[in-house]
Structure 1
Amino acid sequence: MFELGEPIWRSTIVIFDEISLPKPSRFFKRQLSVDGIRYKANVASWSFYIPELQLKLLHSFDGHCHCISKGAPSRTDILNGRNVLSTDRYTVKDWQNVYKKTVARRTAENFVSAVRLQNAGIGPKVLDVAFIRTFNAFYNSNPTWTCGLIIENLYKYPRKAQSTLQDLERAGVIPDRINSCIRQQIHGYVSDLNSVIGVMPTNADKDICELSSELENEIHATLHQHNQYA
């Protein structure tokens, strides 16, 4: 693990060489490997958190957002336009949009939202941005890459009153479509930002595009450098 020289977004891109996420089992239900060292992890539908490293990373399928929920529709079906949805909560287009979104773009969206939540006192402190050069996941036969945020562990925060939709509005953040960010708080703080239509910052298109582009450039430069010496 090492850090790129110049900080971006008032943070640093912290780079890890490799993370391997095995298929959940009785023995590996909450474990994964980071640069050859095994850590405990909290694995959710759209992301996973490694408390010891304070890493919250997105599930990635060939560099795009992915959902491992049992109820999630097949990527192949959705991207080919087949309606295999069992409910009308989301449309095929909704699922296509999130499956086509790069994890770099979603990381930029999450970064802006998370910083606003932190500044409003209803989210964890954002420490850095993380990039994983090689991400091996049980759901993807091809190694890929992923990224996410380094954020403080909310389970170590003292409990406070539950955050409200009004708190998010004042922070400049739009809740996810089904308000899971409100229902699934940790000690009164907003933690769950990802969904089919996830949490988003308001009036932040310019910042998101700039941050996403900067992260993509750093990723491509790092991968190019890595390939030269591979």
Structure 2
Amino acid sequence: MGGILQRIVGALTGAGAREEAEKPHFQRDYERHVRKLKESHPLDEAMSLAVGGHYDIQGKVHLALLRSLGLKDGDSLVDLGCGSGRTARRLAESGSYGYLGIDVVEDLIAYARANTPADYRFHISTDLKIPAGDASADIVYSFSLFTHLLHEETYLYMEEVRRVLRPGGTFLFSFLEFGSPGHFPVFLGSVEQQKAGTKPVMNMFIERNVIELWAEKLGFAVESYIDGNREIVPDGRLGQTGAVLRRL
């Protein structure tokens, strides 16, 4: 009997390991990262750290940036990489919008859903697709997402963003760049984590000339960049560089 049980447990363990290995790297890494944060911190703190910390102030920064780009009541928004809902919560307090939040970690989406209106829609997506119709969104935004994706994956998401944006619609995203002195410590930190075998998630850098090439190929116009060190709200900065694109 013991041998049978061992074989069953072994088969289940093997199946679980295979299922884990088959997940996209970004889902596997971030699920593990969130799981460890929840084990070592109270829930609210874990949900803040999972999206880089400074949950409340970053939500205010994001809302202020969206407003500066023309956000208005009734707009249809796609929050790509919505995480635990730091932006969604601020949006819910500020107006009425058609909202779709997309992420890869169920725990993050569950927290975001619990703290936002019932009509806010959330979706787990691991296939680099946006579950929205063509030309259906006024604004798509993505904070601290492309930093965790391979360039090919970012490009595929940008294809989807162009598809779902209405002509003239806004695409706002943040990114790490070697051209920003403030970002190099992030790279050095990743190097040290790589040495120690403790790197939780990928940190990918994108340079502006790459963004401009992708925009040209995909049918966007690059309108502006946002200095991550510029104060957006009192004591609140984006941190990463921001890019504002318009769908042609």
Q: Which of structures 1 and 2 has the bigger CA Rg?
A: 2
TM-score by length of 2: 0.27
Quick check: which one's strand share is greater?
Answer: 1
TM-score by length of 1: 0.28
- Larger RCO (CA within 8 A; separation ≥ 6): 1
Quick check: which one's helix share is greater?
Answer: 2
